[in-house]
A and B are shown apart, each in its own frame.
Chain A
Amino acid sequence: MTHHTFETPITEQQARALRIGDTVTLEKTLFGIRDATLIAMFDGGRRTRFDLRGHAVIHTAPNVRKVDPRPGNSCGYEPVCIGTTTSMRMERFTRPLMERDGVRLIIGKGGMGQSTLDALRDLGGAYLAVIGGAAALQTTWIEAIEDVDFDDLNPESLWKFRIKHFGPLLVTMDSHGGSTYAQINAEAAARRAAVLAGIGVNG
């Protein structure tokens, strides 16, 4: 179990060095993305002007405040509360997001499935768990909203955050076929019969 501090963007080699159980702190840039963003990009054919190659995306839709654009905050939004959402809904977009846009790290909660695990292995990436429902804390890791694309989808726009010491995040899916979720789920399935028997129910 190793701790990694990465300044984004990262290389394929850096992504492949990650193993489940490792921890990661990210610096510099993080992109926010979720359901409507990905539906627009991959079902609607919209292309972002952001270069996502080697970058990390977090499954999120933030609470923001509109402010007058000023130097250092040209997009006119400042953070109110930014956390994460359940990643599994975005399962079918992992491969195209990595393949077409070059994303390396996906951050979210609750884990993702087999097609994500396959994409992480084939293309070189990792899934990092951030704690769901701990957004007040995570907001303190975000310095500013640097830019926004697909502003019409607010709050499900494509957000560009400037971050400082974003983490620790826990590597829970890696490029070597490791998934903490698959492990825990298999354990729960294995305990199921005994748990049911304990309350007088046949499996």
Chain B
Amino acid sequence: MQLDLKEVEELAKTLYIRALKLLPRDVKQGFERLLREETDATGKAILGTMVQNIAVAERTKNLLCQDTGIPIYNVTVGRNVEFDGAGMKAAIRRGCARATTEHPLRSSVVHPITRKNEQTSCGPGVPIVNVDFDEREETVEIEMIPKGSGSENGSFLQMLIPADGVGAVKRFVIDKVIECGGRVCPPTIVGVGIGGTSDLCMHLAKIAATRPLGTTCSDPEGARIEAQLSDAVNELGIGPQGLGGRSTSFRVHVEVAATHITMNPVAVNIQCHSARRASAIITPGGIAFE
């Protein structure tokens, strides 16, 4: 299969807008679960309004949240796909800019030093395009994540040492959830990276934060910590919007990677309740949206 760059550009545009408007099914189901389990009256009322907002966004074809986020594109290329890599990245960038100017969307992206906004959602290094490969025959999957900044500001890295043990990893997560309180727009998905190098650890936390609800860590030890922390954070009483209740998080997600004998790194990256993603799969048969 030859990857058609015009198709990629259109898809980059469509997926950005689609992600901002339609919440994935697993997140909607997550809201239903939290509503069933929430006992605090304020917490329940806030969750109810969030669910109402999802319906209003669908009915009015509007964005769920005003924050158009930092655009992230995760591209997974399968076997026997011919593609121009640099051209693909440029096509994604054009699609991202066109979504911003043509919809129109708020450009939330500025130069980090001059703070200049190009009004295109693009800038040096943004949109973020991650490219990976898998075994699927003649398949390219593009996932778009508009990562909201309120929760992205809830990002932390600690280079713990082996003597601190796994207990310090868990304590770090609990303390960061307390520290963030309502600022990261709970109920959240708490992404936790354990291991790797400093940059890989942070990236693992982002993968964890943006993983669909209902999935579990592929590493059994990671999955065990994931289950423990998921219950624990909802005992803190922070609740929706930090105004009290059980529903601090939908779930804590953990991703792990091997690390050095001297190292014990942990990272936290938080996803707000507007846990937006959209993806599509390109095959010789056409484009299928998830």
Interface 0/1 of A59-78, CB less than 8 Å to B: 01111111000000000000
Q: Within the complex, which residue of A110, A131, A198 is in contact with B232, where a contact is CB–CB below 8 Å?
A: A198
For chain A, residues 123 to 159, give those with C-beta under 8 angstroms from any C-beta of chain B: 129, 131-137, 139-140, 154-155
Number of B interface residues at 8 Å Cβ cutoff, please give it.
57
Question: For residue A83, which residues in chain B have a CB less than 8 angstroms away from its CB?
Answer: 65-67
Q: Which residues from 49 to 71 on chain B have a C-beta closer than 8 Å to any C-beta of chain A?
A: 49-50, 52-54, 56-57, 60, 62-68
Q: Please tell me if the beta carbons of A137 and B229 are within 8 angstroms of each other in the complex.
A: no
Which residues of B are found within 8 Å of A192, using beta-carbon distances?
174-175, 178, 236
Question: A133 to B181, Cβ gap below 8 A?
Answer: no
Please give, as numbers and ranges, the residues of chain A lying within 8 Å of B64 by CB-CB distance. Answer: 133, 135-136
- Kindly state the separation between the CA atoms of A149 and B176 in the bound complex, as whole angstroms: 38
A86 to B241, CA, bound (A): 10
Which secondary structure dominates where chain B touches chain A? loop
Q: Does B238 lie within 8 Å of A184, measured CB to CB?
A: yes
| A184, B150: Cβ atoms closer than 8 Å | no
Give every chain A residue within 8 A of B104 (Cβ-Cβ): 63-66, 80
Interface positions, chain A 149-203, Cβ under 8 Å from B, are 154-155, 170, 172, 180-181, 184-185, 187-189, 191-192, 194-196, 198-203
Q: Are A181 and B170 in contact (CB under 8 A)?
A: no
Contact A188 B237 (CB under 8 A): yes
Residue B193 interfacial (CB < 8 Å): no
Q: Check B66–A60 contact: CB distance below 8 A.
A: yes
Nearest A residue to B62 via CB reads: A136
* Residue of A36, A154, A155, A188 with most chain B CB atoms under a 10 A cut-off: A188
Secondary structure type dominating chain A contacts: mixed
Q: Are A80 and B62 in contact (CB under 8 A)?
A: yes
- Structural contact, A188 and B238, CB atoms closer than 8 A: yes
| Cα-based distance from A154 to B117 in the complex (angstroms) | 8
Is the pair B178, A62 in contact by a Cβ cutoff of 8 Å? no
Residue B191 at the chain A interface, CB threshold 8 Å: no
A109 with B150, Cβ < 8 A, contacts A86-B183, A202-B167 known: yes
Cβ of B242 to closest chain A Cβ, rounded Å: 6
Q: Are A81 and B62 in contact (CB under 8 A)?
A: yes
- Nearest CB of chain A from residue B249's CB, rounded to whole Å: 13
Does B111 touch A at the CB level, under 8 Å? Answer: no
User: Is B243 on the interface with A (CB-CB < 8 A)?
Assistant: yes
Minimum CB distance partner of A65 in chain B = B104
The residue of chain A having its C-beta at the shortest distance from the C-beta of B47 within the complex is: A131
Q: How far is the CA of A41 from the CA of B175 in the complex (A)?
A: 35
Q: How far is the CA of A181 from the CA of B186 in the complex (A)?
A: 13
Chain A's closest residue to B234 (CB) is A195
Q: Which residue of A lies closest to B227 (CB)?
A: A199
Give the CA-CA distance A82 to B68 in the complex, in Å. Answer: 11
Verify B167–A134 contact, CB threshold 8 A: no
State how many angstroms separate the Cβ of A190 from the closest Cβ of chain B.
9
Task: Verify B244–A180 contact, CB threshold 8 A.
Answer: yes
The 6 nearest A-B residue pairs measured at CB: A83-B66, A136-B57, A110-B183, A134-B53, A133-B274, A81-B63
* Extra pairs beyond A131-B50, A196-B232 (14, CB < 8 Å): A36-B115, A63-B66, A63-B106, A85-B150, A110-B150, A132-B150, A133-B65, A133-B148, A136-B60, A155-B117, A188-B237, A192-B174, A196-B174, A199-B170
Residues on B lying within 8 angstroms of A by beta carbon are 42, 46, 49-50, 52-54, 56-57, 60, 62-68, 103-108, 115, 117, 119, 148-150, 153, 167, 170-171, 174-175, 178, 181-185, 228-229, 231-232, 235-239, 241-244, 272-274
